[in-house]
């Protein structure tokens, strides 16, 4: 897909979030790094400018690499752009002959460019097709909204959006789609809004939680996150650093539990469940509490308000299996067919 020049001009570039605390923690930078969420390239450029020998820049959205063409040449072969999912980052790195990485950065979620382009369908503020696919292929939000049964829809809205009116909204969607398929963002936003009280000043738009939920389902974002953390454990060399930035509580809970469990601070046995096996730590946490943006960063970039950064250093212990449910992955059996 080629980038629409009008769209490119209209969408402001993405401001990297929490970049300073990451760069401060990992200085001096050397060796091979993987940026699993390339986006506008803010993290990749900072790593290259700080001295990384090579950066493997992964993104599932093919459009980001077209945008980067304007500046990527200056880094020559040091910047390797890879279309793919960070859930498989160890395999993607191996394909580039990078078997043990010095560091990995993940800045989870959507970019400002994706949200700002109405035709990508992420935003309820602008009318566009109900799409939401980061990779621009596979099941779209419209496929889910028009095909999933009522219970599945309600489960998605509740589990991935923490939407308490999930059943009411799911019921209304089923009624509305009998009239005609729901294929654009503003119609879905109006349907959701009609099920909820009018927001008070300062409250979020009523469609916020449901749109988040659909986006997570369309892109299987939480499964990607668990898979990406496990892949990072396999791909990092002893001493290598993993830095993860998240934007909502479902994501942060997964990262927090992963780092806790893999650094030996997971739940211990008790008299009701005495047989919890204590595994050798695979990581040492560099952040016990998540780092948040400074007031200055929040003022300059409102997206930074909900961002949380957690970092850990890989230890010299073999990687091992992870229980996704223990990491906080909701138990939603979506088979992708809808």
Ligand X SMILES: C[S@@+](CC[C@H](N)C(=O)[O-])C[C@H]1O[C@@H](n2cnc3c(N)ncnc32)[C@H](O)[C@@H]1O
Q: Which residues bind ligand X (CB under 6 A)?
A: 14, 16, 36-37, 39-43, 58-61, 64, 85-87, 107, 109-111, 134, 224
In this complex, which beta carbon is closest to ligand X, that of residue 21 or of residue 39?
Answer: 39
Taking the least distance from each CB to ligand X, the nearer of 170 and 304 is 304
- Whether cis (ω within 30° of 0) applies to the bond prior to 28 is yes
Q: Are 106 and 245 in contact (CB under 8 A)?
A: yes
Q: Is 213 helix (H, G, I), strand (E, B) or coil?
A: helix
Q: Using the minimum distance from each CB to ligand X, give the nearer residue, 109 or 206.
A: 109
Choose between 105 and 189: whose C-beta lies nearer to ligand X.
Answer: 105
A 10 A CB-CB count for 331 gives: 8
- Kindly state the smallest distance separating residue 325's Cβ from ligand X, in Å: 20
Task: Please identify, using beta-carbon distances, which residue of 19 and 156 lies nearer to ligand X.
Answer: 19
DSSP codes, 108-145:
-S--HHHHH-GGG---SSS--BS---TTS-S--HHHHH
Residue 283 and residue 230 in contact, taking contact as beta carbons nearer than 8 Å: no
Distance set, CA 227 to CA 29, 119, 120, 315 (Å): 25, 29, 25, 19
Say whether 15 sits in a helix, a strand or coil: coil
Q: Least distance in Å: CB of 302 to ligand X?
A: 14
Query: Which is nearer to ligand X, 32 or 110 (by Cβ)?
Result: 110
Shortest distance (Å) from residue 225 CB to ligand X: 8
Instruction: Pick the closest to residue 229 from 330, 310, 144, 333 (CA basis).
Output: 310
Q: How far apart are CB 35 and ligand X at their closest, in Å? A: 7
Shortest approach of ligand X to residue 298 CB, angstroms? 16
Cβ at position 181, least distance to ligand X in Å: 26
């Amino acid at each position: 897909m080629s980038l629409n020049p009008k769209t490119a001009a209209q969408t402001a570039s993405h401001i990297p979030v929490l970049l300073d605390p990451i760069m401060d923690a990992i200085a001096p930078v050397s060796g091979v790094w993987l940026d699993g969420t390339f986006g506008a390239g803010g993290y990749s450029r900072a790593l290259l400018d700080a001295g990384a020998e090579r950066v493997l820049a992964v993104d599932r959205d093919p459009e980001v690499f077209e945008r980067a063409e304007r500046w990527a040449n200056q880094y020559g072969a040091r910047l390797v752009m890879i279309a793919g999912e960070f859930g498989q980052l160890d395999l993607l790195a191996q394909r580039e002959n990078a078997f043990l990485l010095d560091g990995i950065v993940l800045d989870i979620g959507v970019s400002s460019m994706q949200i700002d382009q109405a035709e990508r369908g992420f935003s309820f503020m602008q009318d566009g097709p109900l799409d939401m696919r980061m990779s621009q292929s596979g099941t779209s939000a419209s496929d889910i909204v028009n095909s999933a049964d009522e219970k599945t829809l309600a489960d998605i809205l509740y589990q991935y959006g923490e939407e308490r009116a999930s059943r009411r909204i799911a019921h209304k969607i089923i009624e509305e789609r009998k009239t005609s398929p729901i294929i654009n963002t503003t119609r879905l936003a109006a349907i959701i809004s009609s099920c909820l009280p009018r927001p008070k000043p300062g409250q979020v738009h009523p469609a916020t939680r449901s749109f988040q939920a659909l986006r997570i389902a369309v892109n299987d974002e939480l499964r990607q996150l668990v898979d990406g953390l496990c892949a990072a454990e396999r791909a990092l060399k002893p001493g290598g650093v993993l830095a993860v930035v998240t934007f909502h509580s479902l994501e942060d809970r997964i990262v927090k539990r992963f780092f806790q469990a893999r650094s030996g601070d997971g739940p211990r046995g008790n008299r009701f469940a005495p047989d919890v096996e204590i595994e050798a730590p695979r990581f040492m946490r560099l952040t016990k509490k998540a780092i948040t943006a400074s007031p200055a960063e929040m003022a300059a970039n409102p997206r930074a308000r909900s961002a949380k950064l957690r970092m850990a250093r890989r230890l010299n212990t073999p990687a091992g299996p992870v229980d996704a449910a223990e990491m906080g992955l909701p138990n939603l059996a979506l088979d992708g067919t809808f």
